Amino acid sequence: ANGRARVVSTWDFGVGANQAAWKVLGNGGSALDAVEAGARWAESELCNPTVGRCGNPDRDGVLSLDASIMNGDGSCGSVAALVDIAHPVSVARKVMEQTPHVMLVGEGAQQFAMQQGFKRGKLLTPEAEKAWREWLKTAQYTPEINAERRSRPGDSSNHDTLGMLAVDAQGQLAGACTTSGMAWKLHGRVGDSPIIGAGLYVDNEVGAATASGVGEEMIRNAASFLMVELMRQGRTPAQACREAIARVVRKRPEASKTLQVCFLALGRNGEVGAYALHRGFVYAVCDAERQDDLRDAASVY
């Protein structure tokens, strides 16, 4: 029943997120329910300084979360700059299903979440607050290239945004993306993850794509939409990721040397591709055959 089902995710913690999604997908559940479950796992089960309740705050010490969810039929929802609500991906799904809108931000998103029954509570962990106080000593915003992404046991620092794409047994596609954004960002900064077409795009006719890294580059290039459109024109997922990365480099060759951008794509037939600007991007693949596959992506540098 789950023969063609598959779920893929960014980074090494994508293995755990995939397994949470597989509990749904492997039992004949929908891709949409699967990616929500996988993203919720990353938001809460794991203490990850770039996702959910354990995320690092912005420059002013405020932890604000961005997330999106998209179904292969084109329905989608997202939240940006959401504060004090633990499961942004589920709020994004509510935006998709319970409102005529696609995106809610800031206070309005929080108000909506509370109306939908989500609990409000301070999320910033003592560890994240400590890291922020440490950062304040220099207060330089210089995002690091994450060159070594296979975390060591007990290491919680080595993590990033979760982008997840799935195809279910019925051939329906869905995706989700969840993040606390770039650590020490300006207050009010929104990244690519909640922007449909930048951090996530899904189309049942073609496939799905997602991204991690410095979100400004994804927004500039409408990266996830670009990957899906390249697949529509006949590129494989791997070719689409590679060509989209080439676009990022062409647009900003100098900046591309010092920032990380990572792309992941899934064809409607289940084929997977990935590519990054810099080495170190790993992605997790999970299907009926294997639930713990972690692969290295090729890169420009």
Interface residues with ligand SD4 (CB under 6 A) are 50, 160-161, 179, 181-182, 191-193, 212-215
| Distance between start and end Cα atoms, the chain | 41
Q: Which is nearer to ligand SD4, 5 or 15 (CB)?
A: 15
Q: Which is nearer to ligand SD4, 214 or 241 (CB)?
A: 214
State the minimum distance, in angstroms, from the CB of residue 2 to ligand SD4.
29
16 or 29: whose CB is closer to ligand SD4? 16
Q: Measured from the CB of residue 58, what is the shortest distance to ligand SD4 in angstroms?
A: 11
Nearer to ligand SD4, 56 or 172 (CB): 56
From 161, 178, 179, 210, the catalytic residue = 161
**Residue 161 known to be catalytic:** yes
Q: Could you write out the three-class secondary structure of the chain?
A: CCCCCEEEEECCCHHHHHHHHHHHHCCCCCHHHHHHHHHHHHHHHCCECCEHHHCCCCCCCCCEEEEEEEECCCCEEEEEEEECECCHHHHHHHHHHHCCCCEEEHHHHHHHHHHCCCCECCCCCHHHHHHHHHHHCCCCCCCCCCCCCCCCCCCCCCCCCEEEEEECCCCCEEEEEEECCCCCCCCCCCCCCCCECCCEEEECCCEEEEEEECHHHHHHHCHHHHHHHHHHCCCCHHHHHHHHHHHHHHHCHHHHCCCCEEEEEEECCCCEEEEECCCCCEEEEEECCCCCEEEECEECC
Smaller CB separation from ligand SD4, 187 or 232 = 187
Question: Where in the sequence numbering do the catalytic residues fall?
Answer: 161
